[in-house]
Every structure is written in C-alpha cells, then in structure tokens.
Amino acid sequence: MELVAGANTIIPTSPISIEIQIFGIDSSELDFSAYSLATNAKVCSDDDMIFYGQLHNKSQTIKLIQTSSSVYFQINLPELSPQINKISICATLADEQQNFSSINYLNIKIKNSNVIATSRITGQHRSEVALIIGEFYRYQQSWKFRFISQGFNGGLKSLAEHFGVNIADEQPLSEVSPPPIPSQATSDTTPNISNTLRDIFLSPLKLIEKRKKQKELQLKQKEFQSKLSQYLSDGKLTNQERQQLDEFCIEHKLDKQQLFKQSSLLINNFLHFTLANIIADRFVGKDEHDFINCLCDYFQPDQSIISEIKNTIQRVNNIEKIKKGDVKLIQTNEIVVKNSELIYLHQKDVLLTVQRKNANNVERYRGDLFVTSERIIYKSDKPKNILISNIISYESNKNMIFITSKTANNSGEFYIGKDVDFVEAHIEQSVKRFHRQIDLRQSTNNTRHITQETRNTVWQRCNGRCVECSSTSYLEFDHIIPFSKGGSNSENNIQLLCRACNLNKSDRI
C-alpha cells in the first residue's frame, strides 16, 4: 500500500521497522529522530528522544540504525510502555543553512516480515530545515501509521523543544552562587532532561565530532560489506573468513547482525547457492546438513529462508530413503492383490497419455496409480497392469514418468505432477527389491553428476535465479537437453530452474 500525505493504515502489533532510503545526499547530512509521546503529545524524559546522540531507549524497544544511504527505526510495538501514545518520526538537516530542496527524495517503507506500506517525500520546492515524516499512534486496541510529510521551521533543537524536550540556553559565566536548596520532586508529567542532550545541542564541537564518527562508521560498514562480498564470491565461507569478519566487527564496534540484514540479498543468494549445491547429488549427508545449519546460525536469515532450507533437505533425503527401501506399507481396498503382494504407493489423479500407431490423435485417461512389490497398476478407463518383471526401463522427466515394458500395451507415459520424484523413488525401490538389487536401465544420480566447477559457472551465469521466473527458492541444476535424450553435463547444457518451473518444463525435443 502506498500512502499519500495525510493517509493512514493499520499496523500489526508486532516488531516492525520503518526504513528511510535517502537519494540525493549522504545520510550523514540528515539527522533522523523519533519521539515517544504521551497523551499530551510531549515526551516524558530524555529517554523518549531517539537520535544520533542516543541510538536507543533504555528498554531497547526503539532503535536507530543509520548507513550511508538509509536509516532504520526498529520499534517493538508489543513491548512499548503503555504511557507511550504516539511515536513521531522526523528528519532535520545538519546544516541549517540548507533546506530539504537539496534532497532528491526519501523512500519510506514500513515492514515486519513483509512490506506493510510505502510512501515518498520529494525535495522539490521544499524550503524547510525539518520534516515530520509520519507517526505511529494507538488506535483502539491496535496501532496505526499516518504519513504526514509536514515541514517544520527550525532545526533539530527546535524540533526537540516542540515535542517537549527541555533544552535550556547556555548561561553566561557569573559569580559562584551558593548551592541551591533542594526542590521538591517534580510531577511525572514534567520532562526530565539530563545534561547529555543539552551538551550535544549546545556544543558545536559535539556536532563536528558526531559527523566525523558517523563518516568513519559508514566507511567501516562499507569495508565490512566489501569483505563479506569478497568472501562469498567463490561460493564458500571458511572458518578463517568467519573469524576475520567477527574480529573486524569487534575491533570497529560494528553490529554484525545488523550488517548481515543490510546484506540480506547477498547472503540469501549465497545460502540458495549452497542449498542447490548440496542437493545436486540427491542426498544431503550429516556433514553437509551441519554445514548449512552452521551458516544459518551465523547469518541468522529470515525464518522463511531457514524453513525453505529445512523442507528442501527433508524432501530430498526422504526420496533417497525410499529409493533404498525405507518405505511404509499401505492398506487399501481399491485394488485386489495376492496374499504375499505388498502395496507401497497409491498416487491419485494420474494422467495417462497414449499415442496410437498410425494415428494423429493422442488419447488421455485419468486414474490412480499403485506401486506394489510385483506390479504397477493403473486403475482407470484405460487400465494397465505392468509386471515388475517385465519392466525394461523407467525414468522421470520433469513431471512425467515413462515406463517401458516388454509388451507395448503395458508401456506408458504417466503425468504425475509435483510428486513425480516420490513416485519414481517407489518404482525404483520396488524394481530393486524384485531383482535383488540387479542394476537396470533406470536413471541414476551418478551418471547425471554435475561437477562443482560447472555448478559455480551456471550459478553466476543465471545470477542465482530461475531462468524462467527469476525465483530464488528451491533451485535445481537442470539439463536443458535431458540426459536421457543425449544431453551432456557441460555448462552449456545446464541451467537453473526452480522446482515449480522444472516440473512444468517439457523435455520433448
């Protein structure tokens, strides 16, 4: 949802962030601040003002993070004090001789795990030194965000005072006065402002020092991201490289996890590459599993990435277990079997395609496929009863399984869909059991093995995305010309496809 000035939207009561991307000037030329306001629209203490001199409040429920091109406020809405009725997000120019016409525009995104709302502020024709960007405010039992985009005359000091921050002017030197008589405690509604904010606002040296430190911090952040990009470029991250990244963050007092979040595209691409690598041979061993889990623990990516990795590995390994005979027997009254015949699989809604000799038309039938210890049974208007002993070859090509039998009438092309690898695995284990592990002409992972060098080249050529839909999820190295049709394992015949596109692809060439 894109908000215009004055519009509002409901915000989930969850940890959220507001990201402000800056175009036209460096972020160090802007000061961003957040004010936690009571019902009287004023702060209660200096803890309620978050800015470059105070990057978070005591409870850590509001945090400010600034890079060279963007700013983030992280706000934990469920944990906020009940006294906080509103949070105002603002921006001011460090040089009060300038105004907001010096920027091109600000892009604003409100996010949790998804983007909730966006908005934009352009600098054209703006003459103010400060902006009230927007505000989060309580609404009944939930929260809302209102996009304001309102100019404000005066710099950061004036803006802070507008929200009730009590910053006294510098007093001239005078004769030493006797110690004042202690006054009675002030009411809870009176702002309690310490000397920290006053010193920052009133000392020009503090501002210069802040700019210098901010520039140095941004340079170190860029250096860290450059190191990370360099380390991941070869598709590996060694223990020594991890140690060097950790030591760099400690030495320069950098927030490593926050830098990882800012490099999420790079890291997610690396994790997807690692996943595609370890599932390429159709089985993920303990060492490989531990390795990618270790990477996830280190980078702490979004839960969606972790779930994708876990589910993909589980699926690949389950299929391998089935191929090795680790199957569960099923009971069904749908077919009649011998007393000694075991039923391994019942796959519903399978499409059979039949091409008659000397006929132009193709016949299609829909039914159920059963795999037993002795037969492959297709129950439909065009039934088939394929003895395991008569199977010459079988193979899956994307979403279909082709079975060649000694009798032409019992051969067939079966459209399975997304579960094709599970069905093929059950057929494979049944055939191997029947022939006591005699090697038939079924497809094997070894003959289809793609070298690591080829995988690296293909990944870079495809930019870590499915060549069909640009997805980055559940990627597989795919033969452009199918292996069964004479396709090679060379880089020119390998592409990246996501699972969905791989299943939809036709390999009839």
**Burial code of 334-371, b = ≥16 C-beta within 10 A, e = fewer?**
eeeeeeeeebbbbbeebbbebeeeeeeeeeebebbbbb
Say if residue 177's pLDDT is above 70: no
User: pLDDT tens digits for 344-361?
Assistant: 999 999 998 876 655 567
Euclidean distance between CA atoms 63 and 76, whole angstroms: 9
Q: What is the model's pTM?
A: 0.58
Closest CA to 126 of 146, 157, 105, 108: 105
Query: Tens of pLDDT along 310-319?
Result: 999 999 999 9
Judge whether 68 and 225 are in contact, CB under 8 Å. Answer: no
- Helix ranges (H only) for 44-192 are 156-162
- Residue 209 is predicted with a pLDDT of 62
Contact predicate 18/7, CB 8 Å: no
Largest pairwise CA distance in the chain? 115
The pLDDT, as a whole number, for residue 208 is 54
- Judge contact between 149 and 131, C-beta under 8 A: yes
- pLDDT band of residue 66 (cuts 50, 70, 90) is confident
pLDDT at 509 over 50: no
Q: pLDDT grade, residue 188 (50/70/90)?
A: very low
Tell me which residue of 260, 267, 233, 16 sits closest to 144, measured CA to CA. Answer: 16
- Cα angle at 350 between 345 and 355, to 5 degrees? 125
Q: Are 49 and 197 in contact, with CB atoms under 8 Å apart? A: yes
d(CA 126, CA 400): 62
Would you place residue 479 in the very low, low, confident or very high pLDDT band (cuts 50, 70, 90)? confident
448 vs 308, higher pLDDT: 308
Average pLDDT of 262-271?
91
Tell me the pLDDT of the chain averaged across its residues. 83
Single out the residue of 57, 86, 91, 94 nearest to residue 74, CA to CA. 57
282-287 contacts at long range (C-beta below 8 A, 24 or more positions apart): 282/316, 282/319, 282/320, 282/445, 283/316, 283/317, 283/320, 283/445, 284/313, 284/316, 284/317
In the numeric block, which tokens belong to residue 217? 């911090």
Looking at residue 424, its pLDDT comes to: 92
Q: Is the pLDDT of residue 98 over 50?
A: yes
> Distance (Å, rounded) from C-alpha 412 to C-alpha 414?
6
Q: In what order do the strands lie in the sheet with 115-122?
A: 62-66, 70-76, 15-23, 105-111, 115-122
**What pLDDT is recorded for position 427?**
93
Q: What is the pLDDT of residue 83?
A: 92
Nearest CA to 373 out of 422, 331, 426 is that of 426
- Give yes or no for residue 144 having a pLDDT over 50: yes
Of the candidate CATH numbers 3.65.10.10, 3.10.580.10, 3.40.50.1000, 2.60.60.30, the domain formed by 8-166 belongs to 2.60.60.30
Share of the chain above pLDDT 70, in %: 85
Element (H, E) at 509: none
Give me the percent of the chain exceeding a pLDDT of 90: 42
* Overall fold of domain 343-434: PH-domain like (2.30.29)
Q: pLDDT at position 166, please?
A: 73
Instruction: Give pLDDT, residue 450.
Output: 83
Q: How confident is the model at residue 167 (pLDDT cuts 50, 70, 90)?
A: low
Q: What is the pLDDT of residue 499?
A: 79
